[in-house]
Structure 1
Amino acid sequence: MKPHIFARNFTSAAFTVLTPVLLAVYYSTSTMRAVLVLAVLACAVALVYGDFVCGRSYCKDHPCDKPIASSSCRSPSLYRANHAGKCACCPACVTLLSEGQACKKYSKELGETPSAVCREPLKCLKGVCTNVPPRK
């Protein structure tokens, strides 16, 4: 039994119209998949080598150009060898804040240098030095 002429033409026309659409979807999906895989791979490589921003050898490769002496810190400030500059490569005098005192979070990757930080084990939460119990 022969298929109806309309059915054959419809199938042929549908195939002609849908083939480029299906191919475009397939290739765009496979391209997006490939880009996603490459992005994940690049992130994994960067994490493995620790080179997202500061990296393991950043301070060695970019030595501090403005070092200070430990004797230059006046009380109540304390000397910290790795605290100032981008990635905290330089020494600085730092005031340690007690629980309940106002604080601010800083980004060492951007080179922000806090002159005061919360004492250990306090954390700066919502702008206040807070004692955070350890996780169980």
Structure 2
Amino acid sequence: MKQIFTFIAVLFSISTFAAPGPKTSKISISNSNRTETQVRIDGVTYNLNNTFVMDNIRSGNHTISIIQLEKFGFRKIQKTIYNSTMSVAPGQMVNIDINRNGQVVVKTASNVNSPFDRNDRNDHYNDNKGYNDHDNRNNNNNYGRH
């Protein structure tokens, strides 16, 4: 009885570790502007120098604010250049770019068809002839010699 219980426990633990985990999302913010900038994601403030990447974002709604700090003598004036609530899907990558003029461009991409995903890779495989002949050689058994 102990052997059967141990065997079932081992199979359960192996199947648990072998199962794919949830697809994580990522937010990447890049700043080409030279002013001091802060990013506020869900109420937490981060300083942004050039690039800020936040991995393992949970899916759902997130509030993102981008604030530029302009210095006038000893005072700093906060100017909000982006404030939005966005829905992040599982396995989605959000790229936020701030250009030199302070304009914000938001791009989202789904990394479901990642080039590193073995199941969806593009091998250029043709079912009739095998791999496609990319260098336009004739198949006359010259083995690439002309």
TM exceeds 0.5?
no
TM-score (norm 1): 0.24
TM-score (norm 2): 0.23
Select the structure that is richer in helix.
1
* Bigger Rg, which one: 1
Select the structure that is richer in strand.
2
Which of 1 and 2 has higher RCO (CA within 8 Å, sep 6+)? Answer: 2
